[in-house]
Amino acid sequence: MEIFYRKNDKSTNVLLENSFNNNINSLIEEYKSNQIALNLLKENLITFIEDYISKEEIPYTITKEYLKIKRQLKKSKEIKNTLPMKSYACEEYNNRRAKNELLAQEIEDSLEQEFHSQIKTLPKLVESKDLLLFRNEYLIKKINEIRNGSQKRLKNKEWISLYHYLSQLTLKTGGVGTVSKVGCFSYNRDQSIQLRNPKNKVVIRIHSYLENRIYYEILRQNIEKFKFRFLVNQNYIISDDTEYYIFKVLLDNNLSNIFRGQERELKIKKISSIDNLLKYKIVSYQELRSLFTKLEVIKLLDSGILLYEDISIGNNFKWMDYIEFTNDSLLNKLLSIKDNLKSLNKRFNINFFLQCSEQIKSLCDLLEIDTLNFPVLTIDTYTSNLKISKNQTELLNIFIENKEQLSKFYSIFDASKKVEELAWEFMGIYYPFGKDFADFQDLDQFLSQMSDYIFKNINLGELRSGFFNLYEYPLINYIINSICESKENKYVISENMIQMIFEKAQEINYNLEHSYTFFTQLSQNQLFINHVYKGYGIFTNRYKDNFEEGVFEEEFGFDKIYDIPYDFGFNANSRPDKESFDIYNLKSQASNSFINYRDIKVERHEVQKRLKFLKKDGSEFYYSFLGSMTPMVLPRTLAMFNSLSLTGGMYFDIADLVLRKKYDENPTLNVYTAPMVYFREKKIVLARDKTLVSTDYLNSLINQAKNKTELIVKLNTLLGGKTFFVREFSVDCNFKNKFEKPIYINLCSSIGIEALKNYIKDLSWIVFEEPNPNFDEDYLTEYIIESNNTVSDKVRSDSDN
């Protein structure tokens, strides 16, 4: 099978060596050790004083002196007069106290000195290529000036932003552009691997939404020179009063990075010119001009009544051939950009990349197209270099053997399954014999009715984020309760538990069909699941075409899954060339491999609590929107079909659910913990152990600490470590998140402490996770593994019959 991987191009040591000072760490350990002994001495002396003055009949003056010493001890002050019977202990207490004062001062001085050194060094840790997709133009300019010898210093917000960015580049996986390279290998049954060679080491593209707008604006300006014919939108009905045509259209918003992503119904007066237009399916510009003025033709294009030959992702100005240019100046600008992109893809050069970016920005300015202050080019970098040990290949084998069972297990937590179940109930009540569709309003009314039924019962966004009313989800409740009741800091979901869950799922006809993408990391003895996303090649579509031909589609059974063929100009939405389910019936390509909503019927499944989608011949087909846009920006019809499709993603892990359960049961605490969770054996880690802390409590520790040394020791004692990833957390559905990415914190550095203080501003709760796997690996690597169990097996079986 094929496994993709993403390998960081920047070493972990870049930031670790700058954010960790071994001398400070040693001083803190010495301080802690001495403090433990000091606290023990203090407790013993206080106990002695209390016992002595309660049991002995001693003069008041001596009692008064002893109580004075007790107060000094309680306030951790120096003892001025020693206790006669405890003179040695008093002397040792004073000595250890003095030693810790000196150690604390040395730590404070070292932290302060190190802080200024780290801030000065930060800009030198980034290279020009690291900043190509960085969005803060002002900060990029300042960083480059400092790297070139300027004596400017980064301000507080600036160094925090850069530190956060560097922690993402070096200590987290999943970077894009030049900071992370994509590779692929075949994993064989004998546990050997065969690296796949990329066709190109670098693939640079203009952002597809920009290219679509450039193309469209030039088409509008040169409409009479368009070489192709236009398609007429046939997706319309006539209003009840027969006075209007009502069209289903997709419109554009030039302030969005989604192209033509606004779904609308457009009402147009029924006049003879429109009547005549609708007699055509395909029409030339000359034929249009016999019915409309040039301006009216352009308005028909703007409104989606006329469709034109669209472009796919990575077109890189091939659409220029569709237009016969008369403006030589514009043509030369376009040819220059096209040629430069071609050269840039053959031989990557940073200065040339920046020059090409400026060319595109200049063209956008000329055409009055807003670049939205985003980078105008995207970069994907590729590799065939991978360092993987025998232990790690064995771990991959263990995961591959378990991935289909894992997928079934994760489907228990999949919000889309609840949508499926409610849709199944809805059909049983309102359409027990199934439903087909006469026109788009018929479809819209059906989806609206179904949506009302489903979403009055659930909040899909909350479920996808892991907010479950556990009493309504007995399988999830059983799993989370079992973990919460355990007192261990490591919890194994056993084989017996897994089988019992699957049996219970079958008893209630729960649909365990699925495909998921697992984003994983390897240590030498464990595999860690970082994220679980929707499968079906969504994430690998973007990369697979740049590798030697293989069996990507067939291997996973995705060749039988119908795609909804819209990319909306979103670069990650690379489309496979395959049979498609055109839900809008608005694609400009005429293809026999496309089916649309008029070609399908929706029925209840006979056994499982899900829907069946049937073609005209009665055969069941499966579909999925193979795009990675966040669901909240999808047009409404697509959003509904996406919710009903095979599976969805999960924006939480099991430990998050454990923490929320513990909070719900006792919301007055300041700290909650969740154990590390394993699947079957201690080889596959489903969730890292976590500590949830109230920021009010954290701020109180920060404010009460006399100095950074005391704060470090308190946090170290509370959290049980010194290095963490910190991320915001919601304990309930009151989303007040800043949607910040996790940040790496080393408590033994001022830069780490200050970054933590800044991170928790305006947050209520944060989670601490120790790095797992640790940073033994110089260049972090994430392995992307897809499951292909139930659906693909069923599809293959159906296609064989």
Residue 554 confidence (pLDDT): 58
Cis before 375 (ω within 30): no
Least confident of 354-363, 479-488, 549-558: 549-558
**Mean pLDDT in the chain?**
90
Q: Which residues contact 204 (CB under 8 A, 6 or more apart)?
A: 341, 344, 345, 348, 353, 377, 378, 379, 380
Residue 427 confidence (pLDDT): 97
Q: Which two tokens stand for residue 470?
A: 């556990």
The winner for highest mean pLDDT among 64-73, 435-444, 508-517 is 435-444
Least confident of 27-31, 119-123, 326-330, 797-801: 797-801
pTM: 0.92
Is residue 352 pLDDT above 90, yes or no? yes
Average the pLDDT over 233-262 and give the result.
95
Contact 588, 310 (CB under 8 A): yes
Is residue 551 pLDDT above 60, yes or no? no
Greater model confidence, 332 or 555: 332
Phi-psi region of 376 (alpha: psi -120 to 50; beta: other; left: phi over 0): alpha
pLDDT of 498-535, one tens digit each? 999 999 999 988 888 778 899 999 999 999 999 998 88
pLDDT of 15-36, one tens digit each? 998 877 889 999 999 999 999 9
Greater model confidence, 163 or 789: 163
Is residue 555 pLDDT above 70, yes or no? no
Contact 585, 598 (CB under 8 A): yes
Residue 648 confidence (pLDDT): 66
Residue 556 confidence (pLDDT): 58
The string of DSSP letters for 42-56 reads: HHHHHHHHHHHHHHS
Average the pLDDT over 464-480 and give the result.
91
**What is the rounded distance in angstroms from the CA atom of residue 2 to the CA atom of residue 605?**
32
Looking at residue 733, the DSSP 8-state letter turns out to be S
Residue 793 confidence (pLDDT): 46
Residue 796 confidence (pLDDT): 41
Q: Which two tokens stand for residue 365?
A: 């300015």
Query: How many Cα atoms are found within 13 Å in the side-chain-facing hemisphere of 274?
Result: 19
Contact 304, 586 (CB under 8 A): yes
Average the pLDDT over 594-607 and give the result.
92
**What is the rounded distance in angstroms from the CA atom of residue 617 to the CA atom of residue 583?**
18
Amino acid symbol at 612: K
Residue 315 confidence (pLDDT): 81
pLDDT of 415-428, one tens digit each? 888 999 999 999 99
Residue 421 confidence (pLDDT): 92
Is residue 443 pLDDT above 90, yes or no? yes
pLDDT of 769-796, one tens digit each? 999 998 988 999 999 998 864 444 444 4
Please report which helix (H) or strand (E) contains residue 786, including its range: strand 781-786
| pLDDT bucket at 678, cuts 50 / 70 / 90 | very high
Look at strands 676-679 and 594-596 and give their pairing: unpaired
**What is the rounded distance in angstroms from the CA atom of residue 589 to the CA atom of residue 599?**
17
Q: Which residues contact 207 (CB under 8 A, 6 or more apart)?
A: 257, 374, 375, 376, 377, 378, 569, 571
Share of the chain above pLDDT 70, in %: 95
Residue 225 confidence (pLDDT): 94
Is residue 215 pLDDT above 80, yes or no? yes
One-letter-per-residue 3-state SS of 492-507: EECHHHHHHHHHHHHH
Look at strands 2-8 and 177-187 and give their pairing: antiparallel
Instruction: Work out the angle between the directed axes of helices 87-121 and 708-719 (0-180°, nearest 10).
Output: 90
Residue 593 confidence (pLDDT): 67
Residue 800 confidence (pLDDT): 44
**Residue 491 pairs with which residues in a beta bridge?**
677
Greater model confidence, 540 or 324: 324
Question: In 188-229, at which residue ranges do the beta strands (DSSP E only) sit?
Answer: 193-195, 202-206
* CB-based burial label for 687 (10 Å; 0-12, 13-18, 19+): buried
Contact 356, 340 (CB under 8 A): yes
| pLDDT bucket at 655, cuts 50 / 70 / 90 | very high
Residue 549 confidence (pLDDT): 67
| pLDDT bucket at 552, cuts 50 / 70 / 90 | low
| pLDDT bucket at 126, cuts 50 / 70 / 90 | very high
Residue 500 confidence (pLDDT): 96
pLDDT of 367-401, one tens digit each? 999 999 999 999 999 999 999 999 999 999 999 99
Least confident of 339-353, 396-410, 574-588: 574-588
Look at strands 193-195 and 611-615 and give their pairing: unpaired
**What is the rounded distance in angstroms from the CA atom of residue 118 to the CA atom of residue 756?**
16
Contact 700, 688 (CB under 8 A): no
Look at strands 435-436 and 611-615 and give their pairing: unpaired
Q: How far is CA 743 from CA 340, 465, 769, 771, in A?
A: 37, 20, 10, 11
